Amino acid sequence: MNRLSHETSPYLLQHAHNPVHWFPWGPEALALAKDLQKPILVSIGYAACHWCHVMERESFENEETAAIMNEHFINIKVDREERPDLDHIYMDAVQAIAGNGGWPLNVFLTPDAKPFFGGTYFPPEKAFGRNSWTDVLLSINDAWNNRRGEIEAQSEQLISHIQKANNFSALKNIAGATEPEQLFTEENCFSIAENLLKNADVEDGGFGAAPKFPQTFSIMYLLQHAHFYKNEHALKHAELSLQKMINGGIYDQLGGGMARYSTDTQWLAPHFEKMLYDNALLVSVLCDAYQLTQNEFYAGAIRRTLGFIFAELRDPQGGYYAAIDADSEGVEGRFYVWEKKKVETLLGDDAELYCAYYDISENGNWEHSNILRIQKPLEEIAGERKLSLPEAKAIIENCNKILVKERNKRIRPITDDKILLGWNALMLTAFCRAHAVLGNEVYKTAAVELGAFIESNMKDKKGDGYFHTYKNGMAKFPAFMDDYAWYIQACIQLQEITSDQGYLLRAQAIVDHVWKYFRDEQSGYFFFTNVGQEDIVVRKIEQYDGATPSANAVMAHNLLYLAIVFDKQSWREHAVEMIRGMSGAIQKYPGSFAVWASVFQHLAKGIAELVVMGQEPDNLRRETLAKYVPNKVFQSTSEINNMSLFAGKQISGRSFIYLCRNYSCSAPVSTVEELLLQLKNYGV
């Protein structure tokens, strides 16, 4: 066993028995590299990564290959989900070197931890136009021994490149002379939507070619745009995208939950790993879609997805696990696929209907097996067989139970059971949204309990910060900017569904923390790491929306919201300047900045300040939250307090809703229908 045996990360523990002398990232390995003046090999991956497993089997478990690595390098394994800061830095380096990135990410560093060469997967023998891993190791060793000066010069150039790419000038210089009233306009919102839709796949939904990622942020923007500006084209594509994904193979038709991405344009064949964050983000956009359309298809998808989360990712002590692997028994997707003969044996006379509905054939739709997907509505399938829709639904539901029972006998993919603050914060927001939309108290309870778990287990008891990851009773690694931004957002949502203003005070305290430890005074944006972190070669500012939302974009929205709650005009001004600074990128490349685009659109449309007050506000709060008002700040209370939006209002036996803008309120109303009319008249 190597030094990884003492770690808690499932990914690192998977490599604990490799013959490679792996170290975790830390002072011991970094100091040893300096003492021995050996180059460092950093190999970055995650537990649910298929190609990480492949390279481990082919190379890291090979005694001869390990001997070369051990002789010439200090070998460090990193779980990208535990240390996203390191992953961001070294991914930037590899993309600069090779023009692409991915996992496993293998990067060679000088003893000072500066990158000079790297790539992703390398085969054991030269193939796919790639050098063999052994050839790479021997070539790097030769260069280090004979051309060290060149290597060190290249590492300095790479670091300089990463720093320049991360060097944002002052916001006023980025924004130019454009004033908010000229920038946050309906015309620019339409321009953003048009640029998003230029990349739309109008046949299969989503954006771009394979591999296709969910891009829920872009869909969310289109839904909001359709609501604000009655853009039917935007709504049509948002709905097409969601329906194609939910009916596709990327979505687990038996167990619920969505995989990370599809390898084809039709959402048929996913990379089968399921990530907590993808499913949390999916629930949130499904909530928007249901509120806007009242289509029960979306409500059903919310329930199935959360059912999967509860069944497969919930830790008994609280918190939610990070991911489920793509592989089982060493084969990608084996747990999820079916052969037609097996289905016929299990289902008997019902198999014909079932196979027609889920696209199950003799030859299979993927590598001679079948991934369950829906291509025709059940109503159409039933009609062709002279069945009523209720009859067909009953058959399908019963068949699903049979196949789930059979599937549960298979060897399951492993679960990455670490608990990450940021991903759990996204899940917390999803629970809050699902409760608001569907009114299910189970989701509200889950949200409150998750918030309590985070406070009990992931808050730094010695300070005012939080930890990034938790497992086996141990929290570690100082939280990153996305952890904080997403958790502030979750606290805001918790307040909305509970009326507990304490969650807003918690959000305020966290903003104060990140303002002190993460803000870049020159640009006004927020660094990914705190000011005291010393084991990184570059301190980065992350602004793109990737698979998860940009921490800076979410933080801009948080500041806009909390500025109204606490009457802090400086926070609003700061948020507006953040958006202005990104405005050019938002408008030209909205697919990469879609969360920013939504905040941009809120500023263009105006923010509705909604307050419910009365001795018994719960019913009116629930009715208000069930409606689609994405550009709102919402508070409710049954008692007088010093929150800014409650000032000048009285508590009476009957509850009322106040619609305000810049603290100037319309006449209170007692029904949601009256509120919706006011919103229409106010244009917000």
3-state SS of 296-364 is HHHHHHHHHHHHHHHHHCECCCCCECCEECCEECCEECCCCCECHHHHHHHHHHHHHHHHHHCCCCCCC
pLDDT of residue 167: 61
Which has the closest alpha carbon to 643: 670, 621, 613?
613
Q: How far apart are CA 148 and CA 420, in angstroms?
A: 39
Which has the closest alpha carbon to 675: 615, 607, 611?
611
Helices of type H across 200-249 = 216-229, 232-247
Q: Which two tokens stand for residue 574?
A: 């700061």
Q: Which two tokens stand for residue 451?
A: 């918030």
Q: What is the CATH number of domain 172-328+416-605?
A: 1.50.10.20
pLDDT of residue 172: 42
pLDDT of residue 77: 98
Long-range contacts, stretch 139-144, CB < 8 angstroms, 24+ apart = 140/39, 140/72, 140/108, 141/39, 141/68, 141/72, 141/73, 144/39, 144/72
pLDDT tens digits, 261-316:
999 999 999 989 999 999 999 999 999 999 999 999 999 999 999 999 999 999 99
What element of type H or E holds 667?
A: none
Residue 16 CA from chain centroid, whole number: 28
pLDDT of residue 682: 82
State the DSSP code for 6: G
Q: How far apart are CA 542 and CA 424, in angstroms?
A: 20
Domain boundaries, the chain: 3-165, 172-328+416-605, 336-409, 608-682
DSSP result, 406-464: HHTTSPPPPEE--EEHHHHHHHHHHHHHHHHHH--HHHHHHHHHHHHHHHHHTB-TTSS
**3-state SS class at 288:** helix
The Cβ-side half-sphere exposure at 559, using a 13 Å CA radius, reads 26
Q: What is the largest CA-CA distance in the chain?
A: 84
Residue 209 exposed, middle or buried by CB count within 10 Å (0-12, 13-18, 19+): exposed
Whether the CB-CB separation of 136 and 118 falls below 8 Å is answered with: no
Cα–Cα–Cα angle for 22, 28, 34, nearest 5°? 100
Q: How far apart are CA 601 and CA 466, in angstroms?
A: 31
pLDDT lower than 50: segments of the chain: 169-177
Q: How far apart are CA 377 and CA 569, in angstroms?
A: 51
pLDDT of residue 121: 94
What letter represents residue 339's amino acid?
E
Whether the CB-CB separation of 86 and 44 falls below 8 Å is answered with: yes
What CATH topology corresponds to 3-165? Glutaredoxin (3.40.30)
pLDDT of residue 178: 60
pLDDT of residue 168: 55
**3-state SS class at 526:** strand
pLDDT of residue 169: 44
Q: If you search the block for the tokens 């689609």, which residue do you land on?
A: 628
